[in-house]
Chain A
Amino acid sequence: MTERPEKKVGIISCSGEECVEGTISRVATRLVLGKLRPNETVTICLPLFLAGGREEREFARDYPTVTVDGCDKMCAKVATERYSGKPASSLVVTDLTKGWQCPKLGSRRKLNDETLTVTRKVSDRIAEEVDEVLRHWV
């Protein structure tokens, strides 16, 4: 992350090693970066951001961010607010899935077909938030 892009949205995913929703937040973020909005987004590694990565913090301070958290502890949102500034938008996977009447989510290690479907829906929601942020870019 050495070059400063002109118009990009940073997506900050929680690391969520302990629960399947953490894996969903990571994979959904990767899907947005790699497939849905590859030219409009970059990601920031949360532990590096928290550990004092200056470039990461400066990026999150100067550019709009969308945080994606697996659970209501919201590490990504809390860290972004604490170290850089208020995110433009914040999503929590457990909040989203509550409204979707999801099947029981499976393993945190290998996402099954049902969980992958949920993950794609989460990635679509992230992409919508990115579009919204870009629409209001001044």
Chain B
Amino acid sequence: MIIIPCSGIGKAFGSISRDATYEVTENLRKETTQTLCLALLVSGDEESLRLVRDNKCITVDGCPLQCAEKNVKLAGGDLAGSIRVVDVYKENRHLKPRGVTFLDRDGQQMAFAVAGKIANKVDDLLREQ
């Protein structure tokens, strides 16, 4: 399964989507997931296109523009799930992530919460298979 975060560079939610993806692909579900470069996919890289078309994809977006979801759809990818950091934030309003370059403590906690959502989605999809 491919987990694709947005690459938002200007706000904390973009960094959170990226960190949550690493938490899933390197720790929580490292046997069943991997990530790929969104920019490479959008550039039309053949290998990346093949990966998103042949595998189930979960996108993780930091802002309402939802670049990751939009680009996987445009690439003809098998979009099986879409997670928005802002929705996780609504459930965790006590957290106020501010760091962008480096996540602060609240940002890390948000990333763990997002990672939990992604892992649950991965499990649901594996059960369906």
Contacts from A to B (Cβ < 8 Å): 13-18, 22, 26-27, 29-31, 34, 43, 45-48, 50-51, 53, 73, 75-76, 78-79, 108-109
CB A48 to nearest CB in B, in angstroms, measures 5
A47 touches B7 (CB 8 A): yes
CB A54 to nearest CB in B, in angstroms, measures 12
CA distance A73 to B22 in the complex (A): 21
B101 touches A47 (CB 8 A): no
Query: Do A51 and B71 contact each other (CB < 8 Å), given the known contacts A43-B10, A75-B43?
Result: yes
Identify which of residues 44-81 in chain B touch chain A, using a CB-to-CB cut-off of 8 Å: 45, 65, 67-68, 70-71, 74
A17 touches B101 (CB 8 A): no
CB A72 to nearest CB in B, in angstroms, measures 12
Contacts from B to A (Cβ < 8 Å): 4-10, 14, 18-19, 21-22, 26, 35-40, 42-43, 45, 65, 67-68, 70-71, 74, 100-102
CA distance A34 to B21 in the complex (A): 25
Query: Do A34 and B101 contact each other (CB < 8 Å), given the known contacts A17-B21, A26-B9, A79-B43?
Result: yes
20 further A-B contacts with Cβ under 8 Å, apart from A22-B37, A34-B100, A75-B39, are A17-B5, A17-B7, A17-B35, A18-B36, A18-B37, A26-B7, A26-B9, A30-B9, A30-B100, A34-B101, A43-B10, A47-B6, A47-B42, A47-B71, A48-B67, A50-B43, A76-B39, A79-B42, A79-B43, A109-B19
